[in-house]
Amino acid sequence: MMLSTPGLVLHTTPYAETSVVVKVFTRLLGVRAYIIKGVRGRGGRVKQNMLQPLTSLDMVVYDNPHSTLNYVKELTPRHPHLQPDPVAGALRFFMTEVLYKALHDEEPMPDLWDFAEQAASGQWAAASGQQPVLFMLAVARHLGIEPLDNHMPHEPYFDLDQGRFVAAPTETTLAPALSLLLHQYLAAADMPQPPLQERTALLNALIAYYQLHLSGFNNFTSHEILHTILR
């Protein structure tokens, strides 16, 4: 069967002499892998810059639900080529790694796809320094693992394992100050930007949270680049 769907590029791997295998988060099919021919050869119809992380594409694909690897018939960029920008590039790389490691099945998630495309295209309203934390919280909400915001004076510790605020500290709880910062992010998307050190600590905590609640979410590295850029 052949169908049309928009997609976001998550990962590209060389295949044979001139082709690539591209992992794509499609709006209609979920995450799928496709062979695209002639990308690495001279005069190929598909340029490699069309397959950069989180590039948004309109695709015509062959879909065999019994195969883990299908073919792309046509693809075109959905948006004009973005001008090179170190901060925007680092943010897209970070968002790509979050999605690539968080999404493993073929279940369509159109609402998450719409949000991710808006974030990747630079149309998201959040300030760049806030985007990593807000992006991880938004993706967690779409995946059904959003932290429960039950913060109270008698429950000041956020437990990464339980996904909620608790009364007593354990090996998996955050310190009260960091727990309060998480509560503030959960309670209000529009808030003053905390200092870099606090945002870094919270981002590291959210990565640990994902690792506890999602299988395969390991060896996460792109946040290290963000720490040096988002001052």
Q: How many domains does the chain have?
A: 2
pLDDT (mean) for 136-147: 96
Say whether pLDDT at 225 is over 90: no
Whose CA is closest to 216, among 106, 100, 114, 56?
100
Q: In terms of domains, do 204 and 221 share one?
A: yes
Query: What CATH number is associated with residue 60?
Result: 2.40.50.140
Last residue of a domain, one of 77, 105, 135: 77
pLDDT tens column, 93-128: 999 999 999 998 778 999 999 999 999 887 765 667
Last residue of a domain, one of 55, 77, 99: 77
Q: Residue 132: is it exposed, middle or buried by C-beta count within 10 angstroms (0-12/13-18/19+)?
A: buried
Q: In terms of domains, do 90 and 71 share one?
A: no
Last residue of a domain, one of 77, 107, 125: 77
Q: Residue 41: is it exposed, middle or buried by C-beta count within 10 angstroms (0-12/13-18/19+)?
A: exposed
pLDDT at residue 82 in the model: 61
pLDDT (mean) for 48-60: 90
Beta strands in 51-175 (DSSP E): 56-62, 70-77, 157-159, 164-166
Distance CA(29)–CA(85), nearest Å, equals 31
Question: Is 119 within 8 Å of 131 (Cβ atoms)?
Answer: yes
Q: Is the pTM of this model over 0.85?
A: yes
Q: In terms of domains, do 70 and 120 share one?
A: no
In degrees to the nearest 10, what's the CA dihedral of 188, 194, 197, 203? 20
Average pLDDT for the chain: 89
Query: What CATH number is associated with residue 197?
Result: 1.20.1440.120
User: In terms of residue numbers, what domain contains 47?
Assistant: 2-77
pLDDT tens column, 174-195: 999 999 999 999 998 678 889 9
Q: In terms of domains, do 155 and 190 share one?
A: yes
pLDDT tens column, 5-44: 999 999 999 988 888 999 999 999 999 999 988 787 666 6
